[in-house]
Amino acid sequence: MVTMNRNKVVIVGTGQVGSTAAFAIVTHGLCNELVLIDHSAGKALGESHDLDDGSEFQDRHVKVRNGDYGDCKDADIVVITVGRKPPANSTRLDELGFTIGLVGDVVDRVMASGFNGVIVMVSNPVDVMAWYAWKRSGLPRTQVLGTGTALDTSRLKTIIGEETGLDPRNVGGFVMGEHGDSQFTAWSTVSLGGKPFTRFLSDNADRFSSVSTHEIEEKTRTRGNEIVAAKGGTNFGIASTVAGIVQTILWDERRIVPVSTLLDGEYGEHDVFLGVPTELRANGANEIVELDLSEDERRVIPTLPQGLGVWRVGAEHPRMVRALAGPTLSALFDTSDLRSAA
């Protein structure tokens, strides 16, 4: 469990996302010690030295070093970022077959150390990978979460800021559901300066007649793909998101963040991880905030678009994992062995 002294964070995977997340954690001085683990020990060593070399000019010194899975034993948080650079025109779900083996191995090694802190999943598809890490680790549901739609919510606010010329921090509300193509903006929750956003637009029609909620939602949904097309991947936005989640947990801030967490009856769903507003505390993901969504918004929750139709997310997480994990990993998910929510 989190030791409440802002002590130790481990990042597994030092690619673009992992190393940039490490930089964000260091520059914000979020912990006393940051340990980097990578399949290439030399890469982790180089990143740790490079990060540590700027300590003279940081507001707070964070000891950064490379390590191994034994370092997870007394870690407060383990951030998992393993994966690969997404191929052109691929979706986050396309990465499942490649990533699942990596994540399974990482989770096994982390848990073998005696780890009892909070796992923050970043690897895509993050909702399925968070669910998989929860099932495989045996940790209580509070101690495993994914970044969910936290980044998507930040993107929504940024785009509304761009469209209105106002500070994005004036925007409230959430993007919910899958971190992917089927995410949706819960417009019934979105406000600007405390006023419902749709009302704000209608009250200022002379200034914002060209602003469309449909276009904003579509820009939010496709923003990540546009960044990938332009520069080959995303790293700064997700790194800031990871740092924010780490800070909220380590500092026991009790903020409500739309992370990917286990639904156990909330919004009518069971045994599935989705991005929903969740209270984060020192022990991880706590109470899920069930918003008073519109009927149209509630109808989106149970479905995820797929190339061949619409399928139930609650049923498909375990089915997808079984199908792609292979016989060894799939044995973990025999119906008789599935653990209930802790």
Q: Which residues are catalytic?
A: 179
CB 17 within 8 A of CB 235: yes
Q: Is 51 exposed, middle or buried (0-12, 13-18, 19+ CB in 10 A)?
A: buried
Which SS3 state, helix, strand or coil, does residue 16 take? helix
**What DSSP state is assigned to residue 180?**
S
CA separation for the pair 71, 76 (Å, rounded): 11
Backbone angles phi, psi at 251, to 5 degrees: -95, 5
Name which of 288, 248, 275 is nearest 155 in CA terms: 275
- Residue 205 in tokens: 């029609």
CA separation for the pair 146, 179 (Å, rounded): 10
**What DSSP state is assigned to residue 60?**
S
CA separation for the pair 182, 255 (Å, rounded): 25
Name which of 103, 183, 177 is nearest 135 in CA terms: 103
Which residues, 6 or more positions from 167, have their beta carbon under 8 angstroms from its beta carbon?
161
What is the number of other CB atoms lying within 10 angstroms of the CB of residue 167?
10
Number of alpha helices (DSSP H) and beta strands (DSSP E) in the chain: 11, 16
CA separation for the pair 55, 160 (Å, rounded): 36
